[in-house]
Amino acid sequence: MITEATTRLPALALPRGLYKPVGLVIGAVVLALSVTSIGDTTLGRLGLFYAATSLAYLLLPFARRTDIPLVAAWVVLLSELAPCLTGQLLSPMNVLADTFGVVMAAGPIFIARYRQQQQGDVRPGARRTADFET
């Protein structure tokens, strides 16, 4: 009989009370770096948003998988509006690079969940009720 290993790696997760401040710091750093010379190249922006989204998924593993790309979309919007304050126009290439960076980091997580569902790993609908009971 084949048995599965039940060992778990030690969690890198932060306490849930730090999720908002850490998310704010990650977003602020990405915004600051997107207006520097790193944000001048398409690959630099793609890498920046990929790294930031991946870091958010690593540090905030108990956040819902849809929340991180949602917040990243707002950071993409703000990173494009920031240069408008100095009179520059929006760059479609920058928007695409930012978006692809987020999608490259978030895509495998959604694909993995789809695969779990196809294999029958479906949890009951009330699995989050403990989060709201206080």
> pLDDT by residue (tens digit) across 84-128?
888 888 888 999 999 999 999 999 999 998 998 898 887 766 655
For the entire predicted model, the pTM comes to 0.79
The more confident residue out of 132 and 90 is 90
Handedness of CA 84, 86, 91, 97 (dihedral sign): negative
Looking up tokens 């944000």 gives: 39
Angle CA(25)–CA(64)–CA(15) in degrees, nearest 5? 55
> pLDDT by residue (tens digit) across 34-56?
888 888 899 999 999 999 999 99
Helix axes 42-59, 92-118, angle to 10 degrees: 40
